[in-house]
């Protein structure tokens, strides 16, 4: 995920990395000039499944032949809702509008072994061999160099983590350092 506005010098880059042994979320802030790392141990963050939505269909075109302007990326839930509630224009190969029609979205699978909603944490229960929803107690870390104001950086990093949880993980509460 990336939040990017090159004109304001306040770009924020989000990166998520996970394996069976660890789960790390990084937020790099151009505005503040540093990166914080949120360690979720072995709990996996379920991110939204992203799908490509065709704003229109053109008879005879394959999925890869559409212009980028005819496509938009949506999460799976939004894509399904859009297809169930809105008609999609269908054009012939010359671009003439033929009709509007509702299409159920095509789901080519997400590659997941579960169907949990996004922005929750899960862990594989080894005894049962299935995934379970978990509570989390993440650890936040940042590096302070000798010439930097550690109190100011700590305050900024705690604010960034709080904003991240409020925006993306409102169902969870994190224990921040010094709480």
Kindly report, residue by residue over 3-23, the tens digit of the pLDDT. Answer: 444 445 668 888 888 887 888
For residue 148, the model assigns a pLDDT of 66
Greatest mean pLDDT range, 63-72, 154-163, 165-174: 63-72
Per-residue pLDDT of 95-116, as tens digits, reads 899 999 988 766 666 666 667 7
Residue 163 lies in a domain: yes
For residue 70, the model assigns a pLDDT of 93
Residue 106 lies in a domain: no
Q: Do 68 and 28 have their domain in common?
A: no
Domain that holds residue 75: 50-101
Q: Do 39 and 16 have their domain in common?
A: yes
Reported as a pLDDT band with limits 50, 70 and 90, residue 92 is very high
The domain total for the chain is: 2
Indicate the pTM of the whole model: 0.60
Does the pLDDT value for residue 137 go beyond 80?
Answer: no
For residue 1, the model assigns a pLDDT of 44
Residue 143: name the closest of 22, 41, 39, 36 by CA.
36
Task: Say what percent of the chain tops pLDDT 70.
Answer: 80
Q: Do 8 and 96 have their domain in common?
A: no
For residue 86, the model assigns a pLDDT of 92
Q: Do 41 and 122 have their domain in common?
A: yes
The Cβ of residue 127 has, within 10 Å, a number of other Cβ atoms equal to 5
Residue 173 lies in a domain: no
Per DSSP (E only), the strands in the chain are 2-3, 12-19, 22-29, 34-39, 44-45, 50-54, 57-58, 71-75, 88-91, 97-101, 121-125, 130-133, 139-141
Q: Do 15 and 30 have their domain in common?
A: yes
The Cβ of residue 160 has, within 10 Å, a number of other Cβ atoms equal to 21
Q: Do 66 and 34 have their domain in common?
A: no
Residue 179 lies in a domain: no
Mean pLDDT of 81-108: 87
The Cβ of residue 168 has, within 10 Å, a number of other Cβ atoms equal to 16
Residue 97 lies in a domain: yes
For residue 177, the model assigns a pLDDT of 47
């Amino acid at each position: 995920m990336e939040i990017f506005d090159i004109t304001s010098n306040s770009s924020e880059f989000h990166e998520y990395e996970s394996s069976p042994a660890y789960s790390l979320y990084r937020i790099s802030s151009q505005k503040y000039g540093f990166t914080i790392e949120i360690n979720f141990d072995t709990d996996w963050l379920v991110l939204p499944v992203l799908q490509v939505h065709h704003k229109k269909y053109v008879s005879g075109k394959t999925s890869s032949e559409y212009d980028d302007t005819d496509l938009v990326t949506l999460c799976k839930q939004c894509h399904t809702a859009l297809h169930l509630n809105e008609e999609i224009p269908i054009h012939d190969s010359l671009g003439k509008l033929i009709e509007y029609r509702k299409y159920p979205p095509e789901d080519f699978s997400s590659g997941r072994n579960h169907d949990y909603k996004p922005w929750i944490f899960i862990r594989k229960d080894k005894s049962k061999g299935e995934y379970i929803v978990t509570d989390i107690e993440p650890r936040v870390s940042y590096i302070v160099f000798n010439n930097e104001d550690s109190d100011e950086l700590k305050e900024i990093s705690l604010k960034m983590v709080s904003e991240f949880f409020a925006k993306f993980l409102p169902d969870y509460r994190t224990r921040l350092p010094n709480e």
